[in-house]
């Protein structure tokens, strides 16, 4: 692992680091905020998964998470959204290829060589974080925005017992029923649609649910509502009687103005679960 930068931030440190990923077969970059409390022992970790077109940098600089995380003594990691670099497959469209990993393990060429984002998050980056930093592996929560909200929800339900809580900002809730999902899953996972449901939050809610608290915020003026399909997740959660706080926020869109507005509430929500 190499240090790209470290800056004092709300009494702690905002760092950017790069490391070799075996899963993605390339170098990967991530941001990590460590609160002041990490100087005295391991602290809880909140994962923040970003959306389409983003790198590690978008949420790190726009979401306003560090100040609220510092108040609760919580670390926040900002992974990249896809593999990058020379020889890594890409596409001219913004919603496929680099910047659009969808947090799945691709099985189809040319994507399968590098696009192993599920394993990257759950294995490679996890190993780096808990070996190199003062983080408490027994206290983790996860959140994300848009494609990253899809990632947060699916990882939380597919990795039972790992995360104390999960939240999402305007998540892609039903990718198997949306052009933000059908296109990418066809490319990454192939034409067998039966395999897609393992990466669909609404399908996973119906099948598994989540053993803990959930918080979902979506704006009523989100310009991508028809692609996000929040109603599918709400219906599945209601049928399952899942513990969930599902909120449609009046007037808000899909931007980081929306995310930053409700970031304090999301971090407080996770802090309550992490310190329970």
CB burial of 257-274 (b: ≥16 within 10 Å; e: otherwise) equals ebbebbbeebbebbbebb
Is residue 146 annotated as a catalytic residue, yes or no? yes
DSSP letter (8 states) at residue 97: B
Q: Classify residue 162 as exposed, middle or buried by CB count within 10 Å of its CB (0-12, 13-18, 19+).
A: middle
**Choice among 21, 141, 146, 165 that is catalytic:** 146
Task: Give the sign of the dihedral formed by CA 214, CA 219, CA 220, CA 223.
Answer: negative
User: What is the radius of gyration, based on Cα positions, of the chain?
Assistant: 17
40 is catalytic: no
Q: To which H or E segment does residue 255 belong?
A: none
**Catalytic residue selected from 56, 72, 145, 254:** 254
Cα separation, 111 vs 188, in Å, equals: 6
Marked catalytic residue, from 217, 222, 266, 270: 222
For the question of residue 217 being annotated catalytic, the response is no
CA nearest neighbour of 263 among 72, 52, 80, 28: 72
- Could you give the residue numbers annotated as active site? 146, 222, 254
């Amino acid at each position: 692992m190499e240090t790209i930068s470290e800056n004092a931030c709300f009494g702690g440190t905002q760092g950017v680091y790069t490391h070799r990923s075996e899963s993605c077969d390339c170098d990967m970059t991530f941001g990590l905020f460590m609160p002041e409390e990490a100087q005295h022992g391991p602290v809880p970790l909140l994962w923040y998964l970003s959306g389409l077109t983003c790198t590690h940098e978008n949420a790190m600089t726009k979401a306003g998470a560090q100040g609220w995380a510092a108040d609760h003594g919580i670390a926040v990691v900002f992974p990249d959204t896809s593999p990058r670099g020379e020889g890594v497959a890409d596409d001219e469209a913004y919603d496929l290829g680099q910047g659009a990993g969808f947090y799945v393990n691709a099985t189809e060429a040319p994507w399968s060589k590098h696009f192993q984002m599920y394993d990257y998050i759950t294995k490679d980056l996890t190993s780096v974080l808990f070996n190199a930093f003062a983080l408490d592996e027994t206290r983790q929560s996860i959140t994300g925005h848009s494609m990253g909200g899809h990632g947060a929800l699916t990882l939380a339900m597919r990795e039972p017992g790992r995360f104390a809580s999960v939240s999402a900002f305007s998540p892609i809730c039903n990718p198997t029923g949306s052009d933000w999902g059908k296109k990418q899953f066809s490319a990454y996972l192939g034409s067998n649609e039966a395999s897609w449901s393992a990466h669909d939050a609404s399908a996973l809610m119906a099948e598994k649910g989540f053993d803990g608290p959930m918080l979902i915020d979506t704006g009523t003026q989100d310009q991508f509502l028809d692609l996000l399909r929040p109603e599918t997740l709400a219906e599945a959660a209601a049928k399952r009687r899942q513990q969930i706080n599902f909120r449609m926020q009046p007037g808000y869109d899909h931007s980081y103005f929306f995310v930053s507005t409700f970031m304090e509430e999301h971090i407080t929500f996770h802090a309550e679960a992490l310190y329970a």
